[in-house]
Amino acid sequence: MHKDIATPKRTKEILDKYGFSFKKSLGQNFLIDTNILRNIVEYGEITEKTAAIEIGPGIGALTEQIAKRAGKVFAFEIDQRLLPILEETLSPYQNVKVIHKDILKADVLSLIGDEIKEFEEVRVVANLPYYVTTPIIMKLLQDGLPLSSITVMLQKEVAERMAAKPSTKEYGSLSIAVQYYTKAETVMIVPKTVFVPQPNVDSAVIRLKVRDTPAVAVKDEAFFFEVVRASFGQRRKTILNNLTSNLHAGKEKKQVVEEALAKASIDPKRRGETLSIEEFGVLSDELLPSFVK
* Torsional sign, CA 225, 230, 236, 241: negative
CB 161 within 8 A of CB 202: no
| 241 annotated as ligand-binding | no
| 77 annotated as ligand-binding | yes
| 102 annotated as ligand-binding | yes
> Does residue 195 sit in helix, strand or coil?
strand
| 114 annotated as ligand-binding | no
| 56 annotated as ligand-binding | yes
Distance CA 145, CA 274 (A): 32
> CA-CA distances (angstroms) from residue 32 to 73, 85, 194?
20, 16, 6
| 35 annotated as ligand-binding | no
Distance CA 125, CA 55 (A): 8
259-263: long-range contacts (C-beta < 8 A, 24 or more apart)? 259/286, 260/286, 260/287, 260/290, 261/286
Distance CA 232, CA 177 (A): 13
DSSP state of 271: B
State the greatest distance between any 2 C-alpha atoms of the chain, in Å, as a whole number. Answer: 71
> CA-CA distances (angstroms) from residue 90 to 33, 73, 94, 235?
17, 11, 8, 47
Q: Which residues are annotated as a binding site?
A: 29, 31, 56, 77, 102, 127
* Positions at the binding site for S-adenosyl-L-methionine: 29, 31, 56, 77, 102, 127
